[in-house]
């Protein structure tokens, strides 16, 4: 009889596990995701910053898996896992499994202040990217029409909390947009009035990169008008800006790029160990201790690299772990021994505006325009489909030379002509 494999999450880990098991004779697969599409998160900031549209970085899971006859896709939310009875409880049904693959990723963490989310959206989903885009574009539009200098200054102040790669990419893009785009399209805004802050609690930004690359990135950001505040802990966020100890920054737009926590699902499994941020601690073969039938991969997994450290939340880690999980299930079915997961390090990179990036690959470190081209090529290569690669390449080419971005549309959330039901 065929084994039933349930995969929760169609991100890099879940999708690659599904592909590894796709069209294999001994398994039937159900993949469940709360969204009906796979999202290429590394380019999410480009949607937020108007460089790309939503469909450039997302593709329907159903289409991506159409050629695998043994995979069924359900759109739904998995609420809980009953490890005793080997079932998952979703918002539409209860589903049993022989093998379970959890690949549900992580979400933002507001350090006990979830009320800040309203004033400082994070960047993890397409909906959040669109909301950030709306806020940034709305701030420019309101700055264009106001005659009040203080109000304009506030509207042209952007604070990004968190100096990791996402914070740096957001700040660099806003810096570039303000420098080169505002002057071209807005008549009343003096680009010099724009202020962009990265507020980082640690002693330096880009903590996962080497200090020399991080300081090069800091200098590039400063050239784009970004002020980098390190050793600065945000103590409050409200609709008018942020508080950092005794300092106050009045800002119409605050964006959150600090702190992550695992999605809740891992902690619904009785007796399963999770780490400080809720990731599920896994064995070398990516299964959960005492539960060889449950695997966890990607951002949700705590895969130890020794002495309290774990593999970072990166796309190549998730992708490789997804494949490895699928492969281990196939080994089980052939009654062969499972393989321990070994991560093939693909390095890390981050962009600062349109011409600069930093790349770190083992002892190889470089920055500048060559790094930016490396970054661009790698991201094009890993995009989901040929169509996505062509479209993104064309749009980048166009905006590279024209400084004109196509997705600079503000679409209001209200869609009805008759909202008051009269
Ligand atoms: C803005 C941003 C920029 C990034 N840039 C880079 C980069 O440049 N390079 C890099 O290597 N990595 C980058 N990353 C990290 C990388 O995207 C992640 O490491 C990777 O996406 C993790 O893959 P995953 O499959 O574990 O989780 P995800 O890709 O997050 O997928 C999880 C899936 O699970 C689904 N899900 C969650 N909970 C449930 C539930 N209860 N029920 C049903 N479905 C559920 C979600 O809808 C989602 O589709 C970036 C991440 C972000 C947010």
pLDDT tens string 125-154: 999 999 999 999 999 999 999 999 999 999
Tokens of 377: 């090529």
Q: Of 191, 174, 188, give the one whose Cα is nearest residue 146.
A: 188
Q: Which of 35, 104, 123 has most ligand 1 atoms within 8 Å of CB, for mutation?
A: 104
How many Cβ atoms sit within 10 Å of the Cβ of residue 171?
29
Ligand 1 center to residue 225 CA distance, Å?
Answer: 30
**CA separation for the pair 232, 201 (Å, rounded):** 5
Q: What's the mean per-residue pLDDT of the chain?
A: 93
**CA separation for the pair 318, 76 (Å, rounded):** 21
Which numbered atom of ligand 1 lies nearest the CA of 104? 34
For residue 408, pLDDT beyond 90:
no
CB distance 299 to ligand 1 below 6 Å: yes
**Each residue of 383-404: b (16+ CB within 10 Å) or e?**
bbeeebbebbeebbeebeeebe
**CA separation for the pair 373, 395 (Å, rounded):** 15
CB distance 168 to ligand 1 below 6 Å: no
**CA separation for the pair 222, 220 (Å, rounded):** 5
Active site residue 212: no
**CA separation for the pair 290, 271 (Å, rounded):** 9
Q: How confident is the model at residue 28 (pLDDT cuts 50, 70, 90)?
A: very high
Which numbered atom of ligand 1 lies nearest the CA of 349? 8
Q: How confident is the model at residue 407 (pLDDT cuts 50, 70, 90)?
A: low
Ligand 1 center to residue 14 CA distance, Å?
Answer: 10
Q: Of 268, 237, 282, 229, give the one whose Cα is nearest residue 255.
A: 237
Q: Which among 20, 79, 115, 169 is annotated as catalytic? A: 169
Domains of the chain from N-terminus onward: 3-34+76-108+260-333 (3.50.50.60), 114-258+348-402 (3.50.50.100)
**CA separation for the pair 384, 63 (Å, rounded):** 11
Q: Which of 6, 8, 9 has most ligand 1 atoms within 8 Å of CB, for mutation?
A: 9
Range name among 55-69, 298-312, 368-382, 402-416 with the lowest pLDDT average: 402-416
Ligand 1 atom 8 nearest Cα: 42
Residue 47, pLDDT score? 93
For residue 414, pLDDT beyond 90:
no
- Helix axis angle for 369-382 and 386-402, nearest 10°, is 150
Which numbered atom of ligand 1 lies nearest the CA of 124? 53
For Cα atoms 74, 57, 397, give the angle at the middle one, nearest 5 degrees.
165
* Alpha carbon separation from 272 to 232, 294, 299 (Å, rounded): 36, 11, 17
* Alpha carbon separation from 123 to 117, 170, 208, 214, 254 (Å, rounded): 11, 10, 19, 22, 12
Residue 243, pLDDT score? 98
CB distance 126 to ligand 1 below 6 Å: no
Q: Are 21 and 329 in contact (CB under 8 A)?
A: yes
Tokens of 138: 């709305």
Ligand 1 atom 38 nearest Cα: 104
The model's pLDDT over 64-111, given as tens digits with 9 standing for 90+, comes to 999 999 999 999 999 999 999 999 999 999 999 999 999 999 999 999
Residue 3, pLDDT score? 97
CB distance 78 to ligand 1 below 6 Å: yes
Residue 19, pLDDT score? 98
In a 3-state reduction of DSSP, which class is residue 290? coil
Q: Which of 42, 74, 107, 127 has most ligand 1 atoms within 8 Å of CB, for mutation?
A: 42
Q: Of 291, 275, 273, 277, give the one whose Cα is nearest residue 82.
A: 291
* % of the chain residues with pLDDT over 90: 80
Residue 382, pLDDT score? 87
The torsion angle over the Cα atoms of residues 113, 89, 65 and 380, rounded to 10 degrees, is 10
**Any idea which residue has 């926590």 for tokens?**
261
User: Looking at 268-402, which runs of residues are DSSP E strands?
Assistant: 280-281, 287-288, 291-296, 301-302, 304-306, 309-310, 348-352, 356-361, 364-368
**Average pLDDT for 205-234:** 96
**CA separation for the pair 257, 197 (Å, rounded):** 12
Q: Are 165 and 154 in contact (CB under 8 A)?
A: no
> Is the pTM above the cut of 0.85?
yes
Q: Are 79 and 89 in contact (CB under 8 A)?
A: yes
Which numbered atom of ligand 1 lies nearest the CA of 45? 1
Which numbered atom of ligand 1 lies nearest the CA of 90? 42
**CA separation for the pair 300, 156 (Å, rounded):** 37
Ligand 1 center to residue 21 CA distance, Å?
Answer: 20
Residue 395, pLDDT score? 84
Ligand 1 atom 31 nearest Cα: 11
**CA separation for the pair 53, 114 (Å, rounded):** 28
For residue 191, pLDDT beyond 90:
no
Ligand 1 center to residue 235 CA distance, Å?
Answer: 28
CB distance 360 to ligand 1 below 6 Å: no
The three-state (H, E, C) secondary structure of 159-218, written as one string: EEECCCHHHHHHHHHHHHHHHHHHHHHCCCCCHHHCEEEEECCCCCCCCCCCHHHHHHHH
How many Cβ atoms sit within 10 Å of the Cβ of residue 302?
22
- DSSP per residue over 250-267, as a string? E-SEEEE---EEE-GGGG
Range name among 54-63, 142-151, 233-242, 376-385 with the lowest pLDDT average: 376-385
Ligand 1 center to residue 141 CA distance, Å?
Answer: 32
Please give the biggest Cα pair distance in the chain. 74
Residue 24, pLDDT score? 97
Range name among 147-151, 166-170, 268-272 with the lowest pLDDT average: 268-272
């Amino acid at each position: 009889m065929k084994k039933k494999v349930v995969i929760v999450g169609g991100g890099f880990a879940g999708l690659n596990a599904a592909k590894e098991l796709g069209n294999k004779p001994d398994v039937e697969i159900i993949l469940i995701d709360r969204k009906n599409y796979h999202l290429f998160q590394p380019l999410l900031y480009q949607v937020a910053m108007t460089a790309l549209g939503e469909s450039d970085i997302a593709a329907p899971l159903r289409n991506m898996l159409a050629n695998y006859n043994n995979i069924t896709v359900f759109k739904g939310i998995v609420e809980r896992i009953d490890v005793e009875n080997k079932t998952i409880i979703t918002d539409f049904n209860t589903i049993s499994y022989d093998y379970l693959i959890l690949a549900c990723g992580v979400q933002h963490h507001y350090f006990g202040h979830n009320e800040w989310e309203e004033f400082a959206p994070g960047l993890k989903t397409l909906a959040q990217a669109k909301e950030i885009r709306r806020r940034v574009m709305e701030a420019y539009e309101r700055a264009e029409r106001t005659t009040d200098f203080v109000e304009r200054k506030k509207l042209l102040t952007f604070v990004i909390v968190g100096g990791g790669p996402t914070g740096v990419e957001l700040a660099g893009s806003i810096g570039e947009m303000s420098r080169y785009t505002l002057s071209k399209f807005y008549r009343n805004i003096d680009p010099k009035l724009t202020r962009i802050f990265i507020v980082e609690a640690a002693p330096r930004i880009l903590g996962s990169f080497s200090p020399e690359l991080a300081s090069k990135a800091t200098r590039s950001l400063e050239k784009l008008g970004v002020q980098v505040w390190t050793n600065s802990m945000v103590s409050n966020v409200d609709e008018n800006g942020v508080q950092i100890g005794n300092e106050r920054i009045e800002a119409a737009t605050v964006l959150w790029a600090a702190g992550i926590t695992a999605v809740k699902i891992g902690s619904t499994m009785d007796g399963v160990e999770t780490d400080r941020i809720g990731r599920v601690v896994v064995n070398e073969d990516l299964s959960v201790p005492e539960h060889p039938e449950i695997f966890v991969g990607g951002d949700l997994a705590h895969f130890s690299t020794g002495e309290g450290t774990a593999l970072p939340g990166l796309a190549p880690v998730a992708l490789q772990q997804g494949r490895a999980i699928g492969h281990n299930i196939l080994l089980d079915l052939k009654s062969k021994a499972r393989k321990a997961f070994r991560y093939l390090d693909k390095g890390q990179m981050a962009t600062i505006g349109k011409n600069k990036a930093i790349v770190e690959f083992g002892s190889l470190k470089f920055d500048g325009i060559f790094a930016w081209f490396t970054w661009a090529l790698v991201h094009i290569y890993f995009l989901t489909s040929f169509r996505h690669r062509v479209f993104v390449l064309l749009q980048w080419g166009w905006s590279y030379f024209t400084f004109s971005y196509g997705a600079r549309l503000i679409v209001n959330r209200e869609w009805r002509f008759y909202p008051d039901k009269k």
